[in-house]
Amino acid sequence: MNEEILISNGWDPKPAMIGTLYFKGRFFCNLKDDEAFVYSVYDDMYCIGIAKSIEDMFEIEKKYDLDQIRLVELNLKYLKKEYKEKYGETL
């Protein structure tokens, strides 16, 4: 993994205090020793995966998106249950 591969696959380089960060959609990464450390723009303190190839990056993004969908669905389920218990109505 290198800068050229990232840029050719739509990742936008931006200078930062810790070096260059590469952004694409809701994700960003930084390069260290030919590996991309991938983060969500919503949680920049937690690395969601380390990619050695663009294919790895795709799988990391896919898994993260699926985890987020499942989390939102679970939260919605609990909110609907609490709403029904509190107000006696079903949505």
pLDDT tens sequence for the chain (91 residues): 999 999 999 999 999 999 999 999 999 999 999 999 999 999 999 999 999 999 999 999 999 999 999 999 999 999 999 999 999 999 8
Q: Which two tokens stand for residue 47?
A: 């690395």
Q: pTM for the full model?
A: 0.87
Q: Which segments of the chain does DSSP mark as H helices, in order?
A: 3-8, 54-87
What is the model's pLDDT at position 25?
96
Domain spans, the chain: 3-86
